[in-house]
Structure 1
Amino acid sequence: MNGVELFLLGRTLMKIGEEALPEPPGGADRHAGSARLVLVVASDIAAHPDTAVGEIAARTGLPQSQVSSAVARLKEAGSVRTAPDPADRRRVLVRQTADVSERVAQVRAAGIEDALTIALGSDDPQRLREVSEALDVLARNLLPQPGVLESHRAGIVSPPE
């Protein structure tokens, strides 16, 4: 696989992920760019608890205004909470809430089987299992884990060999 193929695979996986998400309330377009933006911000917050909006913008490459809007939507949905930074009261820190809203629970519980079946053009159980297992391996190895990146950056944990 080369960089172009990896990029195209990533785009295909994003489309499958979008297809797997349940319809938003009120008939909103689930494929809207703002919905993807909120997912990117929510993912970054999950990987980096107690983070500032500016830090999220720096990590994701998104404009700070878009990150602020996404945080506001997540806060309204009950997915995140904000609090002043005790070290610098001018900054606001964002973290996931311990309580999960009904919508967040619905999104997290959404399975990918139907979306994979459509993407593969087949409902062959062996093929679905094989692709699902490959996705599990990728997720286990590539998704950021809370605290791991910070530990590596601080030199607390040795990088994998």
Structure 2
Amino acid sequence: MNGVELFLLGRTLMKIGEEAMPTEGLREYSTSVRSVLIVASDIVENPGSAVGEIATRTGLPQSRVSGCVARLREAGAIASEPDPADRRRVLIRQAPDASDRVDLVRSTTIDPALAAALGTDDPDDVAGVVASLETLARRLTPGTLSRLRPASGRSRTSARD
């Protein structure tokens, strides 16, 4: 496998993941699932951040981060509080307790979306691919990306790329 094949596999996996997200009862949003997940991940890794800081780290426009934060707040996934050092800023962190929406997202399996993408109804085939993905997920966590970054701590790419 080369870098292009890996990149395309990653894109395919992201699309399957987006398809697996439960959407029942949700209204239309201007923010994509991908952007929301990027912002949510950054908030978990960097609790107590302001929108501008999240935008800088993720490479997403500040307006998109603000939209994602609003969506995450509506879902009960985050909490915010005024910055004690600057009351004009709001600091964002993961909500202490999971909301019903967060619980639903966490409990929904990828099996139906994966079966559709694979074009199979064979549960053993789907289970085999899920097991492979679970192995990759354990080995390649978001934290492993830090080993790819140059010594300066800056990534060669951003979330926009």
Q: TM-score range by the shorter chain?
A: 0.7 to 0.9
State the partner residue of 1:7.
7
Structure 1 gap ranges (5+): 154-161
Instruction: Give, in angstroms, the shift of residue 61 of structure 1.
Output: 0.9
Distance 1:33 1:12, change over 3 A: farther
Instruction: Give, in angstroms, the shift of residue 40 of structure 1.
Output: 2.0
Give me the whole-angstrom Cα distance separating, in 1, the residues matched to 2:77 and 2:26: 18
Residue among 59, 73, 89 paired with 1:61: 59
Structure 2 gap ranges (5+): 152-161
Distance 1:27 1:54, change over 3 A: closer
Give the aligned CA root-mean-square deviation in angstroms: 2.5
The structure where helix makes up a greater share of residues is 1
Instruction: Give, in angstroms, the shift of residue 141 of structure 1.
Output: 2.2
Instruction: Give, in angstroms, the shift of residue 27 of structure 1.
Output: 5.6
Distance 1:27 1:51, change over 3 A: closer
Give me the whole-angstrom Cα distance separating, in 1, the residues matched to 2:86 and 2:138: 35
Output the TM-score relative to the length of structure 2.
0.77
Letter matched to residue 77 of structure 1: A
State the partner residue of 1:73.
71
Is 1:16–1:115's contact at 8 Å kept on the other side of the alignment? yes
Q: Percent identity?
A: 60
Output the TM-score relative to the length of structure 1.
0.77
Is 1:53–1:68's contact at 8 Å kept on the other side of the alignment? yes
Give me the whole-angstrom Cα distance separating, in 2, the residues matched to 1:40 and 1:140: 19
